Amino acid sequence: DRDIAMEAIRQNGLALEFAAEALRANPDIILEAVRVSHGALSFASETLRANPQFVFQVVNLCPCALEWAAAEARADLGLLVHALRLHGRGVLSYVSSDLHPHIGLLSHLASCSDAEALTCMFQGYSYSQREVMALKDRVAALEKEVEHLRREQGRGK
């Protein structure tokens, strides 16, 4: 019963583990469980855990829940830039291993004014080809800037 499950989840979000599969696939129930316990995301359906838009909502509640997101969501650049903007570098420990070479760039993007536009682009919002090219040029410039900063830091040691 949904009401009984919700009451249990409000007392302990990890009670989601014992909820019916249909309830573990319900975004509202998962969000309520995560409000109580960030580890509750680990008991959500694989579909929700892999959905970057849903995990985006979860990250708004609790950045640590990113640890239990599926690899597909943890590899979503828009989601990671959003998480970094909200919660800082602490979320980098949850980044997909595929993105580890780009952690410096992700950190930089999170602090730049273009981050919201990049987030929208990676989340499937439509941009004109000219806007996409401008964003790609901005990313390329940021990559060069990050590389320059790394070289400068290396000289300072």
pLDDT for 120 equals 43
Give Cβ neighbours of residue 122 (< 8 Å, ≥ 6 apart): 76, 77, 78, 79, 81
What are the φ/ψ torsions at residue 142 (nearest 5 degrees)?
-65, -40
Q: Mean of the pLDDT values across residues 34-60? A: 94
For residue 156, the model assigns a pLDDT of: 60
pLDDT at 82 > cutoff 60: yes
pTM, rounded to two decimals: 0.64
Residue 140: the pLDDT is 73
* Residue 115 tokens, joined: 């981050």
Convert the pLDDT of each residue in 101-127 to its tens digit.
Answer: 566 656 655 555 554 545 544 544 444
74 pLDDT exceeds 90? no
Q: Is residue 43 pLDDT above 50, yes or no?
A: yes
- Mean pLDDT over 87-114 rounds to 65
120-128 — which CB contacts under 8 Å span 24+ positions? Answer: 120/78, 121/78, 122/76, 122/77, 122/78, 122/79, 122/81, 123/52, 123/53, 123/56, 123/76, 123/78, 123/79
Q: To the nearest 10°, report the CA torsion of 67, 68, 74, 80.
A: -50
Q: Which pLDDT does position 16 carry in this prediction?
A: 93
Residue 53 has pLDDT above 60, yes or no: yes
pLDDT band at 17; cut points 50, 70, 90: very high
Give the pair of three-digit tokens for residue 129. 């080809």
